[in-house]
Chain A
C-alpha cells in the first residue's frame, strides 16, 4: 500500500516527509501524529489567528483542524502535499466560522466588539489587551479583517506563511492566476488603507 501511494505521488511527492508521517499515522503510529502536530501547530494557529483575530477562537479552531486530520487518518491518501491538505482544512474551518459569525452578528459592528468575540473567554487577556492597545497593530488587523474572506486567506498565506502561488491555489481550489489577481487586489486595498502608516 505504502509503495503504491509513493508511486502514485511521483518523485516530488515521495519527498514530502510530512505525507510520509501521515501515512505512518494511518498505520497507527501515534508518535508520527505528535511529530506532525509539533511541526505545524504554530503555523496553523497563527494562520487561524490572523483569519479570525481572536486567540482563544483560533486555538479552538486549530483543535478542530488537528482532530479532523486525526479522524481522517484511515482514509488519508497522499495525493497532495501534506501542508496543502492541512491548510485546506484550516481554511475551510476558518471560512465556516467567519460565515457563521457573520450571520450571527450581522447587527454588531466590528468597532463595537473590537474584532473580538465576547462569549469565548480568552486564555491570555493580557497579551490580547496589549495587542489591541497597540493602535498600529489594531489598524493593520482591521484592514486585513475588512478584506473579503478569500483575499484575506490569500494574503495571510502569502505574506505570513510565505506560501507559493501554486500552493495557495491548491489550498483555495482555484487557479494560480486567480490567486495572483486576488493578491493584487488585496494588496492594492491594503496599500491604500495603510499608506499613512509607512
Chain B
C-alpha cells in the first residue's frame, strides 16, 4: 500500500480506519512502520493523526464511575423473582390442558389439596381417621378458595404475553 499520496488513507473513510488503528496502537509493528513512512510525506494524514491523537487524549479524561456495591445484591433479588415467575409459567403451561376441562381441573385441585394436607401432616394416612376427616372438612372451603385464587392467578399469567425469554433472540 503506502507510501505515496495516491495511496493516501485519507482518500476514503474505509482506509482512514487504518489511521484510527494506528492512533489506537492497534497495528502490528510492520503496518505501523508503513503508516509512519507515509506520514513522513503526507501532511493531510499527519494532521489527521495529530488531531485524532489529541482527541483521544481528551476523551481519556472521561472515566466511568465505579459500580455500586449493591449491584449484585439487587440483581440477585431480581433473578430470584425471575426464577419464581418462570416456575409459575411452566406450571401454568403444564396445567393448561387440564384447566380447559372442568372435571379434570376439579380433580387437579383435589389432588393439590390432598398433597398439601399430607405435607402439612406427614403422619396422616391416605385413609383418614374420623378426626382428621372432620378437620379436613373444616378447612376445606378456605383451601378451595385459595386454590381457585391460585387458578385465577395462573390463568392471568398464562394469558399475559410472555416476551422476555425470547426477546434477545429477536434483537
Query: Do A and B share a complex?
Result: yes
Residues of A that sit less than 8 Å from B by CB: 37, 41-42, 45-46, 49-50, 55, 59, 62-63, 66-72, 74-75, 85, 88-89, 92, 123-124, 127-128, 131, 136-137, 140-141, 144, 158-160, 162, 165, 177, 180-181, 183-185, 187, 190-191, 194-195, 197-198
Nearest-neighbour CB distance to chain B for A181, whole angstroms, equals 5
**A197 to B62, alpha carbons, bound, how many Å?**
13
Please judge, given known A-B contacts A68-B167, A124-B68, whether A184 and B75 are in contact too, CB under 8 Å.
no
Is B55 a contact of A180 with CB atoms below 8 Å? Answer: no
Top 7 nearest A-B pairs (CB, nearest first) are: A198-B54, A46-B64, A184-B13, A180-B17, A72-B168, A140-B62, A127-B65
Contact of A75 with B165 at beta-carbon distance under 8 Å, contacts A136-B61, A187-B52, A194-B58 already known = yes
Q: A197 to chain B: which residues have CB within 8 Å?
A: 58
Q: Chain A interface: which of B30-38, B78-86, B140-148, B152-160? A: B78-86
By the criterion CB–CB under 8 Å, are A72 and B79 in contact? Answer: no
Complex Cα gap A140–B51 (Å): 15
Is B65 a contact of A131 with CB atoms below 8 Å?
Answer: yes
Do B54 and A50 have beta carbons less than 8 Å apart? no
| Residues from chain B with Cβ under 8 Å of A181 in the complex | 13-14
Task: Give complex CA distance A42, B68 in Å.
Answer: 10
Q: How far is the CB of B84 from chain A (nearest CB, A)?
A: 12
The interface residues of chain B lying within 8 Å CB-to-CB of A55 are 65, 68
Please tell me if the beta carbons of A191 and B68 are within 8 angstroms of each other in the complex: no
Q: A159-B56, A180-B14, A198-B57 are in contact. Are A70 and B82 (CB under 8 A)?
A: yes
Main secondary structure of the interface of B (DSSP, over half): helix
Q: Is the interface of A mostly helix, strand, loop or mixed?
A: helix
CB pair A67 B65 closer than 8 Å: no
Q: Would you give 14 A-B contacts (Cβ < 8 Å), ordered by A?
A: A37-B75, A42-B67, A55-B65, A55-B68, A63-B74, A66-B75, A70-B79, A72-B165, A136-B58, A136-B61, A183-B17, A184-B13, A185-B13, A198-B51
Chain B, residue nearest A77 (CB): B169
- Chain A nearest CB: distance from B66 CB in Å? 7
Q: A45-B71, A183-B17, A191-B52 are in contact. Are A141 and B62 (CB under 8 A)?
A: yes
Nearest-Cβ distance from residue A35 to partner chain B, whole angstroms: 13
CB pair A74–B165 under 8 Å, yes or no, is yes
Contact: A59 with B57, CB < 8 Å? no
Out of B79, B82, B168, name the residue touching A89 (CB < 8 Å).
Answer: B168
Instruction: Decide if A59 touches B68 in the complex (CB within 8 Å).
Output: yes
Determine the residue in chain A with the shortest Cβ distance to B74: A63
Determine how close the nearest CB of chain A comes to the CB of B49; give it in whole angstroms: 11
- The answer to whether B13 and A180 have CB atoms under 8 Å apart is yes
Let me know if B139 is at the binding interface, CB within 8 A.
no
| Cross-chain contact A88 with B171 (CB below 8 angstroms) | yes
Query: Is B164 part of the binding interface, using a Cβ–Cβ cutoff of 8 Å?
Result: yes
